[in-house]
């Protein structure tokens, strides 16, 4: 896995699946349960058309509620609008039911409760409790209006117990699954972070390895030659090799530093050895500079080391941003070197994204390395 996203989305995907399960449950109840009951008791209603209209209103409320919850946790206002519409339609249907057979023929009670569950599922539990209580009170008051006897009251309590019990069980289940999914996602995230850390450590290790190998190729043979006496420290060429390798070692140390202007920092490090040799090195920047990637910085500091090693007494290094053609953002950088090298230095004209130009005027060498961001 290369990115953080899929893991982070995992708990979202589970939550969505639970939401869809609740929608199927509520819609299924409304169509099969409530709809079946409505058709079955068709002859008992004083106005079947009115009951059908209420059923349709509730179907619309469920549809609207489904859209809301599929878009994410609904806000207070739309959630309660849907719930109250369902409750109003359900109560109207109950009022219009024949008084004596309320519990037997009323199809709407359960659906109103399920619609409330659907839209208030992931809101505070107190809201759902308030809604279910309001619904129970509405049904009870309709029955009181119709004349409540002991049998009706027992029936009411039984229906209340199993329907509210079922609704609360579904809510509790979904919430438990939400929590479990959240934990699983968090665990996956921390596992992913651990893997990222391991990958970063590997990259750092590889970079160290590469540096070590680079030293094996350049510094180690030189030290071996000096130790065995095959390289003579009195030889000017050997001294130049020593100065170059010393500057590279110094730069290697500077490359690991976390600084804002890495190139300037590494140029200072590259100049350090030359300054110890008594070369007066000036480093000046003009204005804000763009960030230069490490491979390009290496080409530029390599040129600096070569020129500073050849400088006899003085060197000036300047850095200036190359303005972009179309906007105010710096598009590149021009690093120049003016030094009394006495001759042109063997630098390749272009390496990677860096172009190097040179011009010799008497003992003074001018060289410029240009890097352009793409």
Residue 361 contacts another protein per CB under 8 A: yes
**What's the min distance (Å) between Cβ of 320 and another protein?**
6
Within its chain, how far is the Cα of 115 from the centroid? 34
**What's the min distance (Å) between Cβ of 259 and another protein?**
20
Residue 284 contacts another protein per CB under 8 A: yes
Residue 359 contacts another protein per CB under 8 A: yes
Q: Which is nearer to another protein, 258 or 361 (by Cβ)?
A: 361
Q: Which is nearer to another protein, 168 or 330 (by Cβ)?
A: 330
Q: Which is nearer to another protein, 272 or 368 (by Cβ)?
A: 368
Residue labelled with tokens 């007066």: 280
| Choice from 60, 148, 184, 334 touching another protein (CB under 8 A) | 334
Q: For 364, how many CA atoms within 13 A lie in the half-sphere containing its CB?
A: 8
Q: Which is nearer to another protein, 336 or 373 (by Cβ)?
A: 336
- Give the x-and-dash track for 285-324 against another protein (CB under 8 A): xxxx---------------------------x-x-x----
Of the candidates 355, 277, 357, the one whose C-alpha atom is nearest the C-alpha of residue 315 is 277
Under 8 Å between Cβ of 114 and 22: no
Residue 354 contacts another protein per CB under 8 A: no
**What's the min distance (Å) between Cβ of 338 and another protein?**
4
Residue 328 contacts another protein per CB under 8 A: yes
Residue 260 contacts another protein per CB under 8 A: no
**What's the min distance (Å) between Cβ of 208 and another protein?**
36
Residue labelled with tokens 């080391």: 305
- The residue range among 95-103, 214-222, 279-287, 292-300 that interacts with another protein, by the rule CB under 8 A, is 279-287
**What's the min distance (Å) between Cβ of 274 and another protein?**
16
**What's the min distance (Å) between Cβ of 368 and another protein?**
7
**What's the min distance (Å) between Cβ of 276 and another protein?**
21
Residue 336 contacts another protein per CB under 8 A: yes
Q: Which is nearer to another protein, 58 or 338 (by Cβ)?
A: 338
Residue 326 contacts another protein per CB under 8 A: yes
Q: Which is nearer to another protein, 206 or 363 (by Cβ)?
A: 363
- The backbone torsions φ and ψ at residue 259, rounded to the nearest 5 degrees and listed phi first, read -130, 160
Residue 327 contacts another protein per CB under 8 A: yes
| Choice from 98, 364, 372, 373 touching another protein (CB under 8 A) | 364
**What's the min distance (Å) between Cβ of 361 and another protein?**
5
Of the candidates 309, 299, 253, 248, the one whose C-alpha atom is nearest the C-alpha of residue 276 is 309
Residue 368 contacts another protein per CB under 8 A: yes
Point out which residues bind another protein (CB under 8 A). 282, 284-288, 316, 318, 320, 326-328, 334, 336, 338, 359, 361, 364, 366, 368
């Amino acid at each position: 896995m290369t990115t953080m996203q899929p893991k982070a989305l995992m708990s979202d995907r589970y939550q969505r699946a639970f939401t869809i399960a609740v929608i199927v449950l509520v819609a299924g109840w409304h169509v099969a349960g409530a709809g079946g009951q409505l058709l079955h008791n068709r002859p008992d209603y004083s106005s079947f058309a009115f009951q059908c209209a209420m059923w349709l209103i509730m179907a619309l409320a469920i549809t609207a509620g489904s859209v809301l919850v599929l878009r994410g946790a609904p806000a207070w206002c739309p959630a309660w609008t849907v719930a109250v519409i369902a409750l109003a339609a359900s109560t109207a249907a109950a009022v219009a039911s024949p008084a004596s057979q309320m519990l037997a023929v009323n199809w709407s009670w359960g659906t109103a409760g399920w619609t409330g569950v659907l839209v208030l599922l992931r809101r505070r539990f107190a809201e759902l409790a308030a809604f279910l209580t309001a619904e129970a009170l509405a049904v009870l008051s309709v029955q009181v209006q119709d004349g409540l006897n002991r049998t009706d009251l027992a029936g009411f309590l039984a229906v209340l117990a199993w329907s509210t019990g079922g609704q609360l069980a579904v809510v509790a289940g979904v919430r438990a699954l939400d929590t479990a999914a959240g934990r699983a996602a968090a665990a996956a995230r921390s596992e992913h972070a651990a893997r990222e850390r391991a990958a970063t450590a590997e990259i750092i290790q590889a970079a160290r390895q590469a540096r070590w190998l680079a030293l094996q190729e350049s510094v180690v043979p030189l030290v071996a030659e000096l130790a065995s006496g095959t390289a003579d420290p009195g030889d000017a060429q050997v001294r130049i090799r020593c100065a170059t390798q010393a500057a590279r070692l110094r730069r290697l140390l500077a490359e690991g530093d976390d600084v804002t202007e890495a190139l300037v920092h590494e140029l200072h490090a590259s100049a350090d050895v030359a300054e110890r040799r008594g070369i007066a090195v000036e480093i000046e920047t003009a204005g804000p500079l763009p960030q230069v990637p490490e491979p390009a910085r290496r080409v530029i500091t390599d040129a600096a080391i070569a020129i500073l090693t050849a400088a006899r007494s003085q060197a000036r290094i300047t850095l200036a941003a190359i303005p972009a053609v179309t906007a105010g953002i710096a598009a590149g950088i021009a690093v120049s070197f003016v030094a009394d090298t006495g001759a042109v230095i063997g630098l390749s004209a272009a390496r990677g994204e860096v172009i190097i130009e040179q011009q010799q005027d008497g003992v003074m060498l001018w060289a410029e390395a240009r890097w352009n961001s793409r």
